[in-house]
Structure 1
Amino acid sequence: ALPDWIEEAMRYLLEMCNDIQWTALLLKWVELESQLGFLKGRSRSNQLSVTNRPAQIGIWIHQSRPWDAMPVIGHNVVEDYSILWWLWWRSLQPAWRAETLSRDLRGKGQFTWQETRKGSSSGFFLVILSLGWWL
């Protein structure tokens, strides 16, 4: 069985979009959480960097993560949000990938996914959720 917070998140995330690729992404996310041991709590070691993270994410977190009060990324903020979201995403990538955002995941030399491979409600989940706000 999945932890309660993941089941709740999946219900919400599945309502965001009916696209098969979105559903596949969500299933991969659950697989990642499983590989990481379904981490609980909000330990700093499981938190993604906040560098360049869009403010809407922090506001939602500080409001106790209400499922019924998600930010609306309307036409008046979508450009700024998208710029910050991509800057944040790049900051989470291994150095070899940050410049090109290459889809080649083999990389060049030694590298680690430690900045991105984070479980819990403060980990990769926030990347997916905040991407969903943008849909």
Structure 2
Amino acid sequence: FSVQARSYTFQSATFKSTGRPRVLSWWFQNRKPVSRQPPDDLFGKVEDFAAQWWVWWSIINPTWRERDTATGRLVINDNDDSDWSNLRRPGQCGILTVLLCLFWWHERLSAPSQEWVFALQDVAWVVNELVHASK
């Protein structure tokens, strides 16, 4: 993550708020505490949060990324000439918010779910692609 963040010429640091998990509004309004979990009543059910996260993740990803027709989830595919500019959002209001959501989601699971692991793999792949695209 730090390699990726250092490689940017800074532009708008935030993603679109459309579809954004509501716990991020709590985080923004409370001075971005990374050491605290959002309140349970705000976080809601893990399944609902996961669905909300996937919607937002799909919205902020490039439109050229393939979506599974059955689930609507993003598909990891190699495309060397890809434009990642809409995901180049360094800092604490950018890609860190995606990672923070994954952390909060994980902390509410008794064991990592297959859905969470897939989300983590997709985000890791995207961050890797961002690093390679910035070289």
What TM-score does the superposition give when structure 1 sets the normalisation length? 0.63
Greater than 6 Å deviation, 4+ residue runs: none
User: Over the residues paired in the alignment, what is the CA RMSD in angstroms?
Assistant: 2.4
Q: Structure 1 residue 93 and structure 2 residue 61: aligned?
A: yes
Determine if the alignment matches structure 1 residue 34 to structure 2 residue 6: yes
* In structure 2, C-alpha distance between the alignment counterparts of 1:70 and 1:115, rounded to whole Å: 28
2:26 is paired with a residue of what secondary structure? helix
Name stretches of at least 5 consecutive residues in structure 1 with no aligned partner.
1-28
Tell me the distance in 2 between the aligned counterparts of 1:92 and 1:73. 25
Q: Which residues of 2 match residues 50-89 of structure 1 at below 5 A? A: 50-71=17-38, 76-89=44-57
Q: For 2:66 and 2:60, how far apart are their aligned partners in 1?
A: 8
Classify the secondary structure of the residue corresponding to 1:71: coil
Provide the C-alpha distance between the structure 1 equivalents of 2:29 and 2:66, rounded to a whole number of angstroms.
Answer: 28
CA distance in 2, matches of 1:65, 1:118: 16
What does the per-residue CA deviation read over 1:67-114, in whole Å, with 9 as the maximum and x for residues that have no partner? 33221568951111111100000011111215231211307xx75222
Q: Is the counterpart of residue 121 in structure 1 residue 98 in structure 2?
A: no
Amino acid at match of 2:36: A
Tell me which amino acid in the other structure corresponds to 1:94: P
Aligned match for 2:75, one of 102, 106, 118: 102
Structure 2 distance, partners of 1:94, 1:112, is 8
Q: How many residues align?
A: 100
Q: Structure 2 length as normaliser, TM-score?
A: 0.63
